[in-house]
Amino acid sequence: MKIAMVSEHASPLAALGGVDAGGQNVHVAALATQLARRGHEVRVYTRRDQPESQQPERVALNDGVEVVHVPAGPARAIPKDELLPFMGAFGDWLSEDWARTGTPDVVHAHFWMSGLAAAQACALPGIPWAITFHALGVVKRRHQGLADTSPPQRLELERRLASTADLIIATCSDEAAELTRLGAPADRIAVVPCGVDTMLFSPAAAPRPPRSPAKLLSVGRLVPRKGLDTAVRALVALPHTELTIAGGPPRAELDQDAEARRLRELADALGVGDRVLFTGQVAHERMPELYRSADLVLATPWYEPFGITPLEAAACGKAVVGSAVGGLLDTVVDGQTGRLVPERDPRALASAIAEMLDCPETLADWGRTARARAVTRYGWERVAERTEASLLGVVRGRRAVEVPA
């Protein structure tokens, strides 16, 4: 197939860890790469956010995947919540490009705004289009309330996209349920999870027994909804532990980051400041060694559309204590690969961590199970194979084709 992916704000070429660069960038890069390896021609369309002299129109990501920088709006970084006004121009440019270079067989949009551009460009030539939302406005609004900076039209536009897409690829069962509540027809929803690079993310050759102080690790963008404050608060009841928080801007810029400052002040006020370490942004290739260096990985968001970091930890053979929300309900198996605890509950988190650290054999055993499960269910090869089956289904005019995990 000629597959056009549209990922308006999340470029597969971007550095990760910044406010708007995380799992979606990883997902698009890995899925595009694997689909190309399966013989498809893949183009990823993303918004130009630097002048053309620094960001050529077309860049090869690797063999078979071309990244196309679309001129839509100013050629500089703009927060994703301010990109809606440029989606019409994005869609127009897609139409022109397809008229020039040939029509794709199928379009796979990532995130709701990409869905708008894709739907517009696909309408006239009648190209089938699929969408992976990555996050849903209705869930964000529920949890963030007035702090939600999404455009006010988001909820209604997502509802429309959900009822008109030829295929919706949900990344977890919780998202599929949300989509059904939004009015998406069940026969157009396929659940295909995000994946993990199980070669890059692999266990240490010789796993260490837990140390004292035990090393806890949280990875993620420094945004309040990642619930890093819950992990900091839990430390109060866990005197023999240290917490490393990885992510955010580069280390030298952490002082200017509002969330890093807030977390530091909180840790100091709680008397645990000397046990919380901020690394700032970590190069993605260095992430595996970071997971391997941890005794236990925490993922404590308020909500999480999917959450790649718990999967990366699992692939590195680490048990995870996570919030019982969103994608974690599928990726962390309570009592087998880690523990699920209520979100925003430092006490429950601390007691699950203490129990796990108290039993090194169980911790190691759960880490092994987590690795095995990551390899069989979440390797990108498998995820790409399932995505391919779903996309082929819409190209051939069938509804959501779901290949079992």
Using CB under 6 A, which of 6, 8, 22, 263 touches ligand UDP?
A: 22
Torsion of CA 17, 20, 26, 32, to 10 degrees: -150
Q: For residue 338, which phi and psi values (nearest 5 degrees)? A: 165, -160
**Is there binding between residue 288 and ligand UDP (CB under 6 A)?**
no
- The alpha helices in 131-191, defined as continuous H runs, are 137-144, 154-164, 173-182
Residue 280: partners with Cβ closer than 8 Å, 6 or more residues away: 17, 246, 247, 248, 249, 250, 251, 252, 253, 254
Closest residue to ligand UDP using C-beta atoms: 22
Residue closer to ligand UDP, measured from CB, 17 or 338 = 17
Residue 11: partners with Cβ closer than 8 Å, 6 or more residues away: 25, 28, 44, 46, 47, 49, 67
Nearest-approach distance from CB 95 to ligand UDP, in angstroms: 29
Residue closer to ligand UDP, measured from CB, 64 or 307 = 307
Residue 376: partners with Cβ closer than 8 Å, 6 or more residues away: 382
Binding mask 243-282 for ligand UDP (x = CB under 6 A): ---xx---------------------------------xx
**Is there binding between residue 136 and ligand UDP (CB under 6 A)?**
no
Nearest-approach distance from CB 30 to ligand UDP, in angstroms: 9
Residue closer to ligand UDP, measured from CB, 25 or 241 = 25
Nearest-approach distance from CB 327 to ligand UDP, in angstroms: 8
SS (H, E, C) 337-403: CEEEECCCCHHHHHHHHHHHHCCHHHHHHHHHHHHHHHHHHHEHHHHHHHHHHHHHHHHCCCCCCCC
Using CB under 6 A, which of 23, 91, 137, 367 touches ligand UDP?
A: 23
**Is there binding between residue 220 and ligand UDP (CB under 6 A)?**
yes
Contacting ligand UDP within 292-311 (CB under 6 A): 306-309
- 255/252 Cα distance (integer angstroms): 7
Residue closer to ligand UDP, measured from CB, 213 or 250 = 250
Total of chain residues touching ligand UDP, rule CB under 6 A: 20
Residues in touch with ligand UDP (CB under 6 A): 16-17, 22-24, 26, 219-221, 246-247, 281-282, 284, 287, 306-309, 312
